[in-house]
Chains A and B, each alone.
Chain A
Amino acid sequence: MKKNLTRYLLLPAALVGSLSLYALTTPPTLVADANNAGLKLPTGFSALVVAETGARPRHLTITPQGNIYVKLNRVNKSGQGILMLQPTSGGKAEVKTGFGNYGGTGMYYKDGYLYASSDQEVFRYKLNDKGEVTNPSQPEKIVTGLINRRQHESKSIVLDNAGNVYVNVGAYSNSCQQRDRQKGSLGQPNCPILDSAGGVWQFKANQMNQTYGNGKRYVTGLRNVVGLDWNQQDNQLFVMQHGRDQLHDIFPDLYDAKQSAQLPAECMYAVKPGDNAGWPYMYYDQVQQKKILAPEYGGDGKKEADTKFIDPAAAFPGHMAPNGLLFYTGNMFPERYKNGAFIAFHGSWNRAPEPQAGYFVVFQPFKNGKPDGKWEVFADNFAGAPEKVASGRADHRPCGLAQAPDGSLYVTDDAKGTIYRIFYNKK
């Protein structure tokens, strides 16, 4: 009798147990904010605010367990440069913990490790099976001594599938002039900046204290890359370059203010080891669809550049500042988005006195690992109103992108600190 009773008691207990397990493994229902968090999206998509960080979040990454790690541009009031958020309900999340006493941009998850960058170093943290950092105050310093002269300081990072980490080292200059951004100043011959910046460096993900000597200059001639991603279809690195500024300010006789607002293109490059994308000697003119010799190096807006420099895979309007790149590999969005590229355009400043542009997330369709067709605005109105785009006084500025395990898309805003989540409503 007693045995039987135990059996009867055990049965519901087991049921409850398995139900809660089921609840743990089922994706939570996503509840859109009333106005889609202020965003304008294609039909069928919705958005919600995951959290307000009150900081300046740059890149973010999401572990298979759904933990969100966010890199802050500067440490918050508690001295933390990385925030960890965990899901609550309806698709939202709250800050659980913070660590890392340095500001920066790079944040990437790969194979049980969290990678983070300051403006001169790259660290990694071991995660446990719950996706929690096990060594918050003692990360492994894998790369050190990268050049940081404030201009183009972000050391954005991504990993491949062969144990390498790729690190952007932006050029600490606009166009390698003898006097940076000085009207009429010409380019330095054999631009010395390229020795230690203006490219992407490759390092081993599991070796400590590497610096330039241990790494490899994987691609050169890139002015500054903030958004980059590893394309799994092509098994290849893709980067978004921030194109040069101030053609009119520096060479008013060659470029008017309108041309200067429009040019040069913000370029997407598919890179191979040893490639040279041509900065500072050239820029890509998306109107003429040509590589043009930079005016600092004898160009006049028409003369073409050396053909040894690689062509962009795709070109976007000038100065929109691509800060995030993400190849979509999830299953939530409609089929046409699969393996295409989302690009977060932080928004321009260098179009003044012409109206500013950007402050949106763009989708670039891909087919067989190559851009296919024209880009389209995917998520708009981060700025809050068209006149706030034109003036550059945007409410929010998209920066980092990440894909959640369920296939929804996260976007950070480094102006107000909002984290958005965009999802598709299955029909």
Chain B
Amino acid sequence: MQKLSILCFLVFLSLPLAAQKKPAPKPKAPAASAGASKSIAAGKQIYSQYCLSCHQADGGGVQNMNPPLIKTSYVLGDKTRLTKVLLNGLQDVDIDGEPYNNVMPSHDFLTDQQIADVLTFVRNSFGNKATAVSAAEVKAVRAANKK
């Protein structure tokens, strides 16, 4: 027990160090938990069914029409904002300086779990690496969104 807490303490100490080292070999991201892998696999199905026709199989979108999902501020940034895009749709917004003229419809008919899965998939595909989105987080955003 004591050993474990020392270990935890050491890891805690080394975190800011790791963050500072710029070209450091990427510390192996904590292996995606079984839950996250399951979520990514389920999310892939949702993506193919509801997202792919606009955002394309490679997540690259369509110039001037449908935004790419590759390392954009929307995808990698604030999870609440990203969740709201699915719940409410998106229109008339430039993304990272580029205009996209198509309309994204609301996908509020997806369940909290489905939205969590597809967002986790998108945030961990096409070269993206970002934290998972949980059904509980989606539920909270949806509840606040209704006000």
Contact = CB atoms under 8 A, between A and B. Distances in A.
A binds B: yes
Interface of A: 73-74, 149-153, 173-174, 179-183, 185, 246, 248-249, 260, 349-350, 352-353, 391-393, 415
Nearest to B103: A180
Interface string B44-75: 00001010111011101011111000000000
A349 B60 contact: no
Given A391-B57, A393-B60, A150 B99 contact: yes
Given A180-B103, A181-B105, A249 B53 contact: yes
Given A150-B91, A392-B62, 14 more contacts: A74-B99, A179-B106, A180-B103, A180-B105, A182-B106, A183-B50, A183-B105, A246-B53, A248-B53, A249-B50, A249-B53, A349-B66, A353-B53, A391-B58
B105 A182 contact: yes
Nearest to A260: B53
B53 A150 contact: no
B63 A352 contact: no
B96 interface: no
A151 B103 contact: yes
B78 interface: no
B105 A349 contact: no
B101 A150 contact: yes
Contacts of B91: 150
Q: Per DSSP, are chain A's interface residues mostly helix, strand or loop, or mixed?
A: loop
Contacts of A74: 99
Nearest to B55: A352
14 contacts: A73-B64, A150-B99, A151-B103, A174-B103, A180-B105, A181-B102, A181-B103, A246-B53, A349-B65, A352-B52, A352-B57, A353-B48, A391-B57, A391-B58
Contacts of B60: 393
Contact of B56 (A149, A249, A392): A392
Contacts of A150: 91-92, 99, 101
B12 interface: no
A69 B52 CA distance: 37
A246 B102 CA distance: 12
Nearest to A348: B62
Nearest to A185: B105
Nearest to A180: B103
Interface residues of B, number: 24
Given A349-B62, A415-B63, A151 B57 contact: no
Contacts of A246: 53
A391 B105 CA distance: 24
A393 B64 CA distance: 14
**Of B48, B65, B66, B103, most A-chain CB atoms within 10 Å:** B103
Contacts of B66: 349
Contacts of A185: 105
A246 B62 CA distance: 15
Contacts of A182: 105-106
Contact of A153 (B62, B101, B104, B105): B101
B109 interface: yes
A119 to B, nearest CB: 10
Nearest to A252: B49
A179 B105 contact: yes
Nearest to A350: B53
B52 A353 contact: yes
Contacts of B63: 415
A350 B58 CA distance: 14
Nearest to A153: B101
A74 B97 CA distance: 12
Contacts of B48: 353
A153 B91 CA distance: 14
Contacts of B64: 73
Nearest to A246: B53
Nearest to A347: B62
Interface string B94-126: 000001011111100100000000000000000
A150 B62 CA distance: 15
A180 B63 CA distance: 20
B103 A349 contact: no
Contacts of A149: 92
B51 to A, nearest CB: 10
Contacts of B103: 151, 173-174, 180-181
Nearest to A182: B105
Closest 5 CB pairs of A and B: A349-B62, A182-B105, A150-B101, A181-B105, A180-B103
A352 B53 contact: yes
Given A180-B103, A182-B105, A393 B65 contact: no
A353 B50 CA distance: 11
Contacts of A180: 103, 105
Contacts of A391: 56-58
B53 to A, nearest CB: 5
A349 B64 CA distance: 12
A353 B109 CA distance: 22
